[in-house]
């Protein structure tokens, strides 16, 4: 049986190890809080030679992430805003942005604020994002006029898989080439 004194020493060493792991990870990736928690758990399970109870490990990880959050090393609100901005520049739909943020463990409150900011800046963000995708993938209005009707269903399904609703997809697919080129020049 391990004496309590040694156990306490092990826990202190473990906290320092976890902080080092967390700082290295944050320095490299700028992650969300949930990503840091997952990384620390995986890193501990790989590297740990001393067995510690699962509850103790979760408590340690919680302590380290709370400390990082209080010292503003990780901030889910900032992460949410910056990732959403990056995804919009790539031409992703609002649905895809929402699902991405959910998968990264961002709280609903921050996701809702981010989506509201996007909609406040531009009411029809999905429309412009769909146009960017059409340009990037050379679908819809960017196709030759002769081929557009042949690939209509395929192009609409591409937009649907990327998270655009049917109305937005149909609106973009039914655009005239001249209107499309005018909008592309503004983007």
Instruction: Find how far residue 84's CA is from the centre of its chain.
Output: 7
What per-residue confidence (pLDDT) applies to 10?
A: 60
Mean pLDDT along residues 75-83 = 94
* pTM flag (> 0.85): no
Mean of the per-residue pLDDT values for the chain? 88
Residue 98 has pLDDT above 90, yes or no: yes
Per the listing, tokens 């209005």 go with: 141
Nearest to 39 by CA among 11, 8, 17: 17
Residue 78 has pLDDT above 70, yes or no: yes
What per-residue confidence (pLDDT) applies to 48?
A: 64
Q: What is the pLDDT of residues 129-181, one digit of tens each?
A: 999 999 999 999 999 988 898 999 999 999 999 999 999 999 999 999 999 99
In the structure encoding, which two tokens stand for residue 154, read together? 């395929």
What per-residue confidence (pLDDT) applies to 3?
A: 46
What per-residue confidence (pLDDT) applies to 8?
A: 52
Mean pLDDT along residues 85-114 = 95
Residue 7 has pLDDT above 80, yes or no: no
């Amino acid at each position: 049986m391990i004496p309590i004194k040694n156990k306490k020493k092990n826990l202190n060493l473990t906290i320092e190890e976890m902080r080092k792991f967390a700082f290295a990870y944050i320095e490299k990736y700028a992650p969300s809080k949930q990503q840091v928690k997952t990384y620390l758990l995986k890193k501990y399970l790989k590297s740990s030679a001393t067995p510690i109870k699962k509850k103790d490990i979760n408590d340690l990880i919680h302590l380290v992430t709370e400390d990082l959050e209080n010292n503003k090393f990780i901030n889910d609100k900032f992460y949410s805003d910056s990732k959403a901005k990056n995804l919009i520049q790539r031409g992703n739909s609002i649905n895809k942005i929402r699902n991405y943020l959910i998968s990264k463990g961002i709280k609903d409150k921050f996701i809702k604020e981010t989506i509201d900011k996007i909609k406040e800046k531009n009411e029809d963000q999905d429309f412009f994002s769909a146009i960017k995708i059409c340009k990037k993938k050379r679908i819809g209005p960017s196709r030759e006029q002769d081929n557009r009707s042949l690939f209509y269903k395929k192009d609409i399904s591409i937009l649907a898989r990327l998270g655009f609703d049917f109305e937005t997809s149909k609106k973009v697919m039914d655009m005239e080439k001249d209107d499309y080129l005018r909008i592309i020049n503004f983007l």
